[in-house]
Structure 1
Amino acid sequence: MADGTQSRTPAGAAPPGAAPSPDAATDAYLERRTLRRGSAGPLLLTGLGVAYVVSGDFSGWDAGLAEGGFGGLAIAAALMGLMYTCLVFSLAEMAAVLPTAGGGYGFARRALGTWGGFLTGTAILIEYVLAPAAISLFIGDYVESLNLFGLESGWPVLLACFVIFIGIHLWGVGEALRFSLVVTAIAVVALLIFAGAAFTEFSAGSLDDIPVDHDAFGANSWLPFGILGIWAAFPFGMWFFLGVEGVPLAAEETKDPARTLPKAMAAAMAVLLLLALVTFVAACGARGSAAVNSVGDPLVQALQPDGEPTVWSRIVNYAGLAGLVASFFSLIYAGSRQLFALSRAGYLPRFLSLTSRRKAPYLGLVVPGALGFTLAAWSGDGARMLNVAVFGATISYALMALSHIVLRRREPQLHRPYRTPGGVLTSSVALVLACSALVATFLVDRDAAFIALGVYAVALGYFAVYSRHRLVAAAPEEEFAALAAAEAELSRD
């Protein structure tokens, strides 16, 4: 169970020269893999949930107008908002039951076994490794377009992003989450300023000004690309909410997680729903859906009716950089915690879960960061990497929703400090919509979907051949699953 590294035997565990007891070896293993508990309260967790997502309000979603028009994207965003709301309520229940850094992997591990846990954890890692890599490219583009310090987008800017922000995470989780909260607050205030300015120019007639494709089934001015356009717009409707499901990954660093996590997740989701509504409607209504369709900076364009910068558009432009930084920074955090939990339990190489004196998983931060920087500098294709991330996300959503259903049916007696409103019906809605969104990714970027499947195949090969035979039974998620198996055995007796 130990990872082969030298560690000091706890006092009294064994006489000098004797082999340490299994319990002492286990304690030494876990002692080197602990996070700083009690660092995050309700406000920091709510900020974390919004930070994961806020960059998606500034850009990305507008490409959905090219797939479904205003009406198609509106319906897609509403359905994806419903999916995330149902998923968040389902995850809140499971996070209160199992408040560990494993998050979705831990929930699926108990409900679906080791294979289900690994499938879920790998899908989450795909999302949280590729999304920051893509966002780093967008940060580079913003730095160049804003002419900040005369820098141009390129590998030096990308490297600076990873080095600076990973450095803050290595400093400590409390400091990192407070930094994230400040940057996120700036971005949210800017979105509200944008909405106030845009609604002064609002015209309902501008919403449906995209030309109609009369060959598409069910096409009209509100659905210019027909009924199928609604489905194709699903991945872009997700941009208003993508990442909020990562809040439970902070469980081991949270004060009173059983109470705090559900409240923070619900609060973050409420903020995101409001921001999505006002941002989407205000941007399309201020200048027209056609004008902000796939432009990269839809909020800026919405505030420039003559194409010339205004005071408000400049404010939003700079705030867009703050939104990107907030999401980049928080997604690095989420990826490191998921990698930490999978490594601590032996699903991935165990050395990746070692923590520093400041209780930060330093290799869990540095290794994904190095991989993300390499992918960003090598490919330069942020849109493709985000599409791969979305594909991984939808797989994890389906498996996490299924985990809630299985746990409710299989273990109704399990103590649940928080219970999902609507119970299994709520998680079933999330499951159906997640599967629909998964299929929709093939309509948008088939190559990205197959790239994600290729990564999945390699990871599953590693698990099947090697790591599933070397799991760490003392890891919290594994102990939780073992307890369930023991209780089931007793009930049969």
Structure 2
Amino acid sequence: MSQLKKVINTTQLWSIAVGLVISGEYFGWNYGWASSGTIGFLISTLIVTVMYVTFIFSYTELTAAIPDAGGTFEYASRAFGTWGGFIAAFATLVDFLLAPPAIAYALGSYTHFLNPNIPVIPVAIGTYFVFIAINVLGIKESARFSLVVTILSVLELIIFMAIIFPFFKMDNFLAHNPPSLTADNIFVGIPFAVWFFVAIEGVAMVAEEVKDPNKTIPKAYISGILTLVLLALGVMILSAGVCDWRTLSNIDYPLPETLAITLGRNSYWAKTFASLGLFGLIASFHCNTISYSRQIYALARAGYLPKFLSAVNQRFNTPHWALIGGGLVGFVAIFTGTTSQIIILSVLGAVIMYGISMLSLIVLRRKEPALVRPFKAPLYPFFPIIAFVLSVVCMIAIIYFNQFLGMIFFAGMLVSLGGFYLFIKKKNARY
């Protein structure tokens, strides 16, 4: 079987880490205001930020020590065996297969904002065709593309914050909040706070294609999470203070709408930002496409999915069937759920995967003490324990406030578990 090529350097990996997530600064998080208010959602975001910082500093140890495209699935398999690997695989697939359709829908919404004559759904579907084609051409070309659009996206967010900063008023930020702050106000906003950072763990899925992974992965992960924390807090806090934030809390294009409200709907900056805002969504969609395809490829290679999905294109060394298969799942999601529902399911898969990853780290420290660990989690075991506890808290909050979606998630897991046992495991048992 053909292997993936090692071509990604540190800067490109940083761009993939940030690019995977940066659309979360452009849309999705604002739904947290509708449920939590600005103050409750700020607290939700700070809790989630602590979870991600401790998680990434811990997860980097696993990714650098085991640079495998399977990511969490590989770590959990080594720590807990076949069934632990299955749970990790299912959670990771939900995370990375459902993030792209939410982003694609937002791309359609941004385009519709620019030109109301262009419908949302065709743009969302067309996005899949374009970026699957780009990713089939090769990871080196994809990484270069990712670097360009990610840098443009980061610069755009910095310019956005600079433009709206003079309009910020603390009275706007504090207005219209619930009269008393409760645990419900805080925890109901958790899934949308997670959306600020979700998918950065996708770096693990391109680990097999990284040059000098022992040094490259830690540098890219840590610089990536620091970049995202600064952007997330800056965009969220400043946006809430420049106008009545309630007008932004249920739309898929909050940033151009913020500029339209503050500068006027005919403002040059508002129209320019809406046009350039597509770069942030494109960066995340592109990088998530890379990640979901590598996850499908790794699972199929290990026998958890049909073997044909592990095929690598002989000319471009890319997993073409994995790219196409994930795209088909995205098509279905676009037509069957709202953006907020897709986000909730995606982040539920993510926080479950985070918890399993932290348990895997702790178990592998004992089970494989001789494993070469180029980077070790600081303040061990406190960082992984904090990340694990907060991921469990987030999981409980998401399920409690979204019980129907939680039922859909676990029903899907049970059905997949049965299918894995009956049709896949018996034929392609790995252990």
TM range (shorter): over 0.9
CA shift at 1:471, angstroms?
A: 3.8
Q: Which of 23, 29, 34 is matched with 1:61 structurally?
A: 29
Amino acid at match of 2:29: W
- TM-score scaled by structure 1? 0.83
Which residue does the alignment assign to 2:120?
153
Which residue does the alignment assign to 1:412?
369
CA shift at 1:121, angstroms?
A: 1.1
Q: Which of 325, 331, 338 is matched with 1:367 structurally?
A: 325
- The 3-state SS of whatever aligns with 1:334 is helix
Q: Which of 329, 340, 357 is matched with 1:400 structurally?
A: 357
CA shift at 1:307, angstroms?
A: 5.6
Gap regions ≥5 residues in structure 1: 1-30, 214-218, 479-493
What is the distance in 1 between the residues matched to 2:396 and 2:266?
40
Amino acid at match of 2:399: F
- Tell whether 2:235 aligns with 1:279: yes
| Counterparts in 2 of 1:169 and 1:131: CA distance versus 1, 3 Å | same
| Counterparts in 2 of 1:236 and 1:360: CA distance versus 1, 3 Å | same
Question: Is the CA contact (8 Å cut-off) linking 1:408 and 1:424 kept in structure 2?
Answer: no
CA shift at 1:44, angstroms?
A: 0.7
What is the distance in 2 between the residues matched to 1:307 and 1:332?
36
What is the distance in 2 between the residues matched to 1:351 and 1:317?
40
CA shift at 1:315, angstroms?
A: 2.6
Q: Which of 176, 201, 207 is matched with 2:167 structurally?
A: 201
- The 3-state SS of whatever aligns with 1:286 is coil
Which residue does the alignment assign to 2:142?
176
CA shift at 1:306, angstroms?
A: 7.0
Gap regions ≥5 residues in structure 2: none
Which 4+ runs in 1 deviate beyond 6 A? Answer: none
The alignment covers a number of residue pairs equal to 429
| Counterparts in 2 of 1:380 and 1:398: CA distance versus 1, 3 Å | closer
What is the distance in 1 between the residues matched to 2:278 and 2:421?
42
- The 3-state SS of whatever aligns with 2:242 is helix
Q: Which of 132, 135, 142 is matched with 2:100 structurally?
A: 132
- The 3-state SS of whatever aligns with 1:423 is coil
Which residue does the alignment assign to 1:262?
218
Question: Is the CA contact (8 Å cut-off) linking 2:263 and 2:270 kept in structure 1?
Answer: no
Which residue does the alignment assign to 2:20?
52
- Tell whether 2:423 aligns with 1:466: yes
CA shift at 1:292, angstroms?
A: 3.0
CA shift at 1:310, angstroms?
A: 2.1
RMSD: 1.8
- The 3-state SS of whatever aligns with 1:290 is helix
What is the distance in 1 between the residues matched to 2:188 and 2:270?
30
What is the distance in 1 between the residues matched to 2:309 and 2:247?
47
| Counterparts in 2 of 1:309 and 1:409: CA distance versus 1, 3 Å | farther
CA shift at 1:313, angstroms?
A: 2.0
Amino acid at match of 2:297: F
| Counterparts in 2 of 1:228 and 1:382: CA distance versus 1, 3 Å | closer
| Counterparts in 2 of 1:457 and 1:472: CA distance versus 1, 3 Å | closer
Which residue does the alignment assign to 1:187?
153
1:21-77 deviations in whole A, cap 9, x for unaligned? xxxxxxxxxx23x1112x101011100011111111111111111222222111111
1:396-442 deviations in whole A, cap 9, x for unaligned? 11111111111123333432111011112111111111111111112
The structure with the largest helix share of the pair is 2
Q: What does 1:282-321 correspond to in 2, within 5 Å?
A: 282-303=238-259, 304-305=261-262, 308-321=265-278
What is the distance in 1 between the residues matched to 2:173 and 2:409?
35
Which residue does the alignment assign to 2:301?
344
- The 3-state SS of whatever aligns with 1:212 is coil
- TM-score scaled by structure 2? 0.95
**In terms of Rg, which structure is larger?**
1
